[in-house]
Amino acid sequence: MDMTAERTDEYKSGSNLEKILRAGHFAVTGELGPPQGADAEVIHRKAQLLAGVVDAVNITDNQTAVARMSSIASGVLAMQDGLEPVIQMTCRDRNRLAMQSDLMGAYALGARNVLCLTGDHQSFGNHPTAKNVHDLDSIQLIQMVRRMRDEGVFQNGEQIKAGVPRFFIGGAINPFGDPFEFRPYRLAKKIAAGADFVQTQLIYDIPRFREFMKRVVDMGLHEKVYILAGVGPLKSSGMARYMRDQVPGMIVRDEYVDRMKGAIAGIPKEDKKARRKAWREMGIKICIEQIQEIMEIEGVAGIHIMAVEWEAAIKPIVEGAGLLPRPQVE
Amino acid sequence: MIVGEQKTLDEIMGLLGDAHKVLVAGCGTCVTVSFAGGEKEVGILASQLRMRSKLEGHPMEVDEVTVQRQCEWEYIDPLAPRLGEYDVILSLACGIGVQAMNERFPDSITLPGVNTVFLGMPVEQGIWEERCQACGDCILGLTAGICPIARCSKQLLNGPCGGSQNGVCEVNPDIPCAWQLIWERAVKLGREEWLLEIQPPKDWSKSRDGGPRKIVRDDLRLADME
């Protein structure tokens, strides 16, 4: 795929994720949530479940506005287990000084991918009385990281003095957010700002995602950015209902809620263990089917699997979708 | 206008402490229009304070006054001669009025009885909404006349976040998504192109982040003050 007007054979960042995508492989990324504490073992334990299973792993940044171990520190710990991190960075918690400082630090520690996000509002998390920052928005953050890499300058235009951080730059897109008509244009803005890849919100409405991708392909955007479709296994029918009814910016089709409900048909309510097992098997099964459906959609360059606090599900999903072993690109 | 909301009686009682003689001072401008601190609210609060303090066994003497604007010297200066009688002045003006009183009358203590909440307007009887953050660098010409600094929960400049759904903000379904409104208006005006350009990082130095702001208009200053 020709990704830039002035294509060179040099990689922008040299990250594994970039190499996999550039080589035309269907990429697989996962997600690892840092703990609400300082125990490095939690990261290592989760990382070991993902090593060799995904091309890179997103490390969430105070996800849902809950204070957790830093995404950069967690990413560096995960690297010790052979994982390549995608450092998530939200605009909620830092101003442009702190962001640039952290970007340089992350790069110096070996991180090569960054995902630029707005961030969930702090009212969702466990510090709802916090002040939010939003000095930059996610598009301005993408632009800043791109200019640091391609022009060697800070946000203020001054030259970076000792070592330019060269990241593979990601953004998020939500095909299920409104206004729907604006969403492809917002993607176009992220590309113009400098996004190399984007990952989508969790997809539980494939027809709407297909419609979104049709517009994206009609605009030619899929040729300018790698689009990774976001999926995740449902854990229970309650979780499916909750995501359908309560989570802003998500659409969950009833068929998934019904199938999760159907998974425990005939299992007595008291047998929690059996219900849990049946739910989880169904969640993984649905996720694999979704990946197979999504792989057929034009313009999709890879899959991003978000298994929140269920990292162990990722391997069976990737395996079940026929995406193991992961390709090696040198 | 500045929209305020009266503090609870409990909080006000706590602020007044053991004061015996209190002047409740209203303001005839913004807080009158937002029914938080005009002449009428001064009267009601003064009565509440008299009754409550009496019930609690330490009756306060509470006087009332409302000036046209507590944020201008010329309207508050006439209060000077009588302020010495009071232990405390309870201002029902916005934070500007409270500070003006404290600045002009440094020997008296003026306490706030109102929370200054936002710059906004009544959208219908009894409902006020925020419209402006006084960021010092108006961008309404680029955002279809709807301010994302004041009305987007994340102050985004380049379109809605992923939490906008069915026209409402992820923070609360009572908050219309500013970017949904902006997009709809731009479409209606045939000016979608306003929203397709990347807006650069905002210059927050013109906002409060640059420190307290000041405007000096030499053309308006009196010659003998220079």
How much is the pLDDT for A129?
Answer: 97
Asked if B154 lies within 8 A of A119 by C-beta distance, the reply is yes
Residues with Cβ within 8 Å of A319's Cβ and at least 6 positions away in sequence, in order, are: none
A272 contacts: CB under 8 Å, gap ≥ 6:
none
pLDDT given for residue B224 in this prediction? 65
Question: What is the spatial distance between Cα A85 and Cα A223, in angstroms, rounded to a whole number?
Answer: 25
CA A101 to chain CA centroid, Å, is: 22
Task: Note the pLDDT of residue A9.
Answer: 67
Measured CA to CA, the distance from residue A127 to residue A202 in angstroms comes to 25
Q: What percent of chain B has pLDDT over 70?
A: 99
Nearest C-alpha in B relative to A192:
B198
Q: How far is B114 from chain A (nearest CA, A)?
A: 21
Q: What is the pLDDT of residue A159?
A: 98
Interface residues on A facing B, Cβ-Cβ cutoff 8 A: 91-92, 96, 118-121, 123-124, 132, 134-140, 143-144, 155, 172-174, 176-179, 181-182, 185-186, 188-189, 192-193, 201, 248-250
Which residues of A are less than 8 Å from B153 in CB distance? 121
Indicate whether A1 pLDDT > 90.
Answer: no
How confident is the model at residue B151, as a pLDDT?
98
Interface of B with A (CB under 8 A): 153-172, 177, 179-180, 183-184, 187, 192, 195-196, 198-202, 204
- Residue B206 reports pLDDT greater than 80: yes
Alpha carbon distance A313, A287 (integer Å): 10
| DSSP three-state, residue A312 | helix
ipTM of model over 0.95: no
User: How does pLDDT run across A181-223, given as a tens digit for each residue?
Assistant: 999 999 999 999 999 999 999 999 999 999 999 999 999 999 9
What whole-number percentage of chain B has pLDDT above 90? 98
Do the Cβ atoms of A183 and B157 come closer than 8 Å? no
Contacts of A177 in chain B (CB under 8 A): 160-165
Distance CA B107, CA B116 (A): 24
Contact A114, A81 (CB under 8 A): no
Phi then psi for A59, rounded to 5 degrees? Answer: -110, 115
User: Can you tell me the distance from the alpha carbon of B154 to that of A120, in angstroms, rounded to the nearest whole number?
Assistant: 9
Distance from CA of A249 to the nearest CA of B (A): 4
- φ, ψ for residue B80, nearest 5 deg: -50, -50
For range B87-94, the mean pLDDT: 98
Residues with Cβ within 8 Å of B45's Cβ and at least 6 positions away in sequence, in order, are: B6, B9, B12, B24, B90, B92, B113
Residue-wise pLDDT for B153-176, tens only, equals 999 999 999 999 999 999 999 999
For residues A166-178, average pLDDT: 97
Structure tokens belonging to residue B76:
């508050």
pLDDT digits (tens, 9 = 90+) for A116-167: 999 999 999 999 999 999 999 999 999 999 999 999 999 999 999 999 999 9
How does residue A4 score in pLDDT terms, banded at 50, 70 and 90?
very low
Provide the shortest C-alpha distance from residue B124 to chain A (in Å): 26
Residue A135 has its nearest CB partner, among B161, B168, B204, at B204
Q: What percent of chain A has pLDDT over 70?
A: 97
Which pLDDT score is estimated for B223? 72
Domains in chain B, ordered, with CATH?
Answer: 2-118 (3.40.50), 133-210 (no CATH)
Where do runs of H (alpha helix) occur along chain B? 9-16, 30-33, 39-55, 73-76, 95-104, 148-151, 178-189
| Residue A8 confidence (pLDDT) above 60 | no
Identify the band that residue A248 occupies on the pLDDT scale cut at 50, 70 and 90. confident
Say how far apart CA A227 and CA A181 lie, in whole Å.
Answer: 18
CA distance to partner chain B, nearest, from residue A186 (Å): 7
Residues B93/B26, Cβ–Cβ less than 8 Å: yes
For B13-25, how does the pLDDT look when each residue is reduced to its tens digit (9 = 90+)? 999 999 999 999 9
B201 and A144 within 8 Å at the Cβ level: the answer is yes
SS3 B27: strand
Task: Give Cα B125 to chain centroid, integer Å.
Answer: 18
Evaluated on CA atoms A56, A59, A64, A65, the torsion sign reads negative
**pLDDT band of A7, cuts 50, 70, 90:** very low
Average pLDDT, rounded, for chain A: 96
- DSSP letter for each residue of A241-309: HHHHHTSTT--B-HHHHHHHHHTTTTS-TT-HHHHHHHHHHHHHHHHHHHHHHHHTSTTEEEEEE--TT
CA A170 to chain centre: 8
Kindly report the nearest CA distance between residue B165 and chain A, in angstroms: 5
The dotted CATH code for A16-234+291-320 is 3.20.20.220
Task: Tell me what pLDDT residue A330 has.
Answer: 84
Element (H, E) at B121: strand B114-124
